[in-house]
Structure 1
Amino acid sequence: METVYLNGHYVPAEEAKISVFDRGFLFSDSVYEVIPFYQGVGFRLDEHLQRLEHSLRALRIELDFDWASMLSRLVALNGSGNLSVYLQVTRGSAGKRVHAIDPKLVPTIFACCQPIRDIYQEGIERVEGIKVIVTADLRWRRCDIKATCLLPNILVLQQAKEAGAQEALLLRDGTLTEGASCNFFIVERGVIYTPPIGTEILSGTTRALILELADQNGIPRQETDIDYQRLINADEVWISSSTRAIVPVLQVDDYVVGDGLKGPVWQRMFEIFTRYQHQLMTGE
């Protein structure tokens, strides 16, 4: 039976309840993080918590809380091992629906877990390439805040599904920003390129790890603006996220990427990335 954390209590998931007047429910007045734990230890926990604090400061939610202890205990109560923790913090409930922020509100803190797959053991052959569409980025301008107001993301993912695709890349002012639920990369002549971090792009921890592993393994990479023409003419296109790792894109809209096969740079990076993850999961 899954145990979740809610406002100081570790309880069975079906017993966790919040007020219908919680501002996270009414207004998406809340932020979240997704944090991998390998063998019961938070992966890059400091970086995740720094991003959480950045989001909380941006929303002016003030909290003095021992995140690491709570998350570690929650993971232990769910069997430890390799788990992904979803953590959400809302501004709390005012007992009524009101737009104005009451600084006296007590934030709601919720966390739950789900298993992490060992993608390395599954093997590179089982990874299927995907199709993406490109559509307008209609989100607000503070995408660096990991907020739960994800309706634009949900709508473009549905648009992608209706077009027979699995992801949507977002275009704003002629430049691609990121995916609806991912960061993205292109490869040109063996060099990896990805958009630079700013307020219109979320600083993905998987994105950062890919760039770090590229540097460690002598794979050239750059952060630069990418437009639509450059995207469809790239030798390779990938997406990345904490739940999907690195996935090759074989088609963008009606255009085949490269030769339509999983590219050699992606294959090398997939092996490096998943071996790194496998070592964390198994200690081998």
Structure 2
Amino acid sequence: MINFESMANVDGVITSAADARVPIMDRGFLYGDSIYEVFRTYRGIPLFHDEHWARFQRSAKLAHLTLAISKDQIIDEIRRTVQATNAAEQNRDLYVRYIVTRGEGPVDLFPRPELTTRYVIIVKELPEWDPEFLRVGLRLAIPETRRNAINSLNPNIKGGNYLNNVLGIIEARMLGADDCVMLNDSGLITEASTSNIFFVMHDEKVLVTPAETAGHLRGLTKAAVEKLCVKHDLQLSAKDITTDLLLHTTECFLTSSTREIMPVSSLRLPSGDVLRYPDGGGSITRQVIGHYQAFIDDYLKDYEHLCLF
């Protein structure tokens, strides 16, 4: 198979990702002062492009960052970057990240109003997950590090400062897990490092997911799953989830653009106790996976015109 070379686009200059350059005085590098979105493609068709752009605009507003590039311009630049790869010939599914930094300026926390924003686009292969993650499931652990509070750094600013999540996943790996599930300062479940989370309650067979007030990103795959639950008469509740409530759960899965719906096989609690879930997901998790796969098939038929190849 021909090797795939990742490509990048920095303010319109397309190079291999390895050769792309951003000045060291860029605030995105110095402070994580940037916002971004990630989407995946299926047969060249971007998933949730409109929704990603709407969330990007919301991040910009929350971060007091004025966008100098439009939705049409960004998709044109993404298409140019994709077409600089050999993805079409190889029919590769892609990972696409677009970033806007606040720009380049002096070493000063206050962003001067004359700064010019910079955009960066990265196109690479879609991650290939360990087959065991789908066959058996992810191992999760709750770390000591707590999720940033909403009134400290709102998780709905999808920004470049990910140190909070980095610390969480480092601790989870040290505990022998694949990913973390972070609590907020009140001890409520929020989300995994880069994914939203759902549980199934033992008695009611009801899906539950953390309430938005707990502090988590408004995930687009999560939103799609919530709509599918309504469509297929699966009971779903958004609520405060404590670690005590977890003792009454029988299934668990994560959702994200790149992971889609991924079952969880175990969850280590702060006490050291480990909850076990069915390999490959229980009956409700499998139902949700099936509904989501059918949804993707329909989505691709409706959005074929957006193909980036």
Q: Could you tell me the TM-score, scaled by structure 1's length?
A: 0.88
Letter in 2 for 1:93: E
Give the equivalent residue in structure 1 for 2:180: 168
Match of 1:74 among 81, 96, 106: 81
Give the equivalent residue in structure 2 for 1:158: 170
| Cα distance in 1, alignment partners of residues 12 and 259 from structure 2 | 31
| Cα distance in 1, alignment partners of residues 131 and 286 from structure 2 | 11
Q: CA deviation at 1:282?
A: 9.1
Structure 1 residues 241 and 268: alpha-carbon distance in aligned structure 2, compared to 1, 3 A threshold: same
Give the equivalent residue in structure 1 for 2:306: none
Structure 1 residues 58 and 29: alpha-carbon distance in aligned structure 2, compared to 1, 3 A threshold: same
Q: CA deviation at 1:182?
A: 1.2
| Cα distance in 1, alignment partners of residues 214 and 206 from structure 2 | 25
1:1-20 → structure 2 map (5 Å cutoff) = 1-20=5-24
1:138-153 → structure 2 map (5 Å cutoff) = 138-141=147-150, 142-153=154-165
Q: Is the 8 A contact 2:252 2:281 kept in 1?
A: no
| Cα distance in 2, alignment partners of residues 266 and 217 from structure 1 | 13
Letter in 2 for 1:247: M
Give the equivalent residue in structure 2 for 1:47: 51
Q: CA deviation at 1:279?
A: 6.2
Q: Percent identity?
A: 24
Letter in 2 for 1:256: L
Give the equivalent residue in structure 1 for 2:276: 257
Match of 1:56 among 60, 67, 70: 60
Letter in 1 for 2:57: E
The secondary structure found in structure 1 opposite 2:109 is coil
Match of 1:244 among 259, 267, 270: 259
| Cα distance in 2, alignment partners of residues 92 and 9 from structure 1 | 16
- The unaligned stretches of length 5 or more in structure 2 are 303-309
User: Deviations along 1:34-61, whole A, 9 cap, x unmatched?
Assistant: 0123333322111100111111122222
Letter in 1 for 2:219: G
| Cα distance in 1, alignment partners of residues 140 and 213 from structure 2 | 23
Give the equivalent residue in structure 2 for 1:112: 122
| Cα distance in 2, alignment partners of residues 260 and 228 from structure 1 | 22
Letter in 1 for 2:231: Q
Q: CA deviation at 1:280?
A: 5.6
Q: Does 1:137 align with 2:146?
A: yes
Structure 1 residues 199 and 48: alpha-carbon distance in aligned structure 2, compared to 1, 3 A threshold: farther
The secondary structure found in structure 1 opposite 2:66 is coil
Match of 1:226 among 238, 241, 245: 241
Q: Is the 8 A contact 1:144 1:199 kept in 2?
A: no
- The total of aligned residue pairs comes to 281
Match of 2:100 among 78, 86, 89: 89
The secondary structure found in structure 2 opposite 1:11 is strand
Q: CA deviation at 1:198?
A: 4.4
Q: Could you tell me the TM-score, scaled by structure 2's length?
A: 0.82
Give the equivalent residue in structure 2 for 1:187: 200
Q: Is the 8 A contact 1:132 1:160 kept in 2?
A: yes
| Cα distance in 1, alignment partners of residues 11 and 162 from structure 2 | 23
| Cα distance in 2, alignment partners of residues 13 and 264 from structure 1 | 42
Q: CA deviation at 1:278?
A: 5.5
Structure 1 residues 282 and 126: alpha-carbon distance in aligned structure 2, compared to 1, 3 A threshold: farther
- The unaligned stretches of length 5 or more in structure 1 are none
Match of 2:291 among 254, 269, 272: 272
The secondary structure found in structure 2 opposite 1:114 is strand
Q: CA deviation at 1:20?
A: 0.8
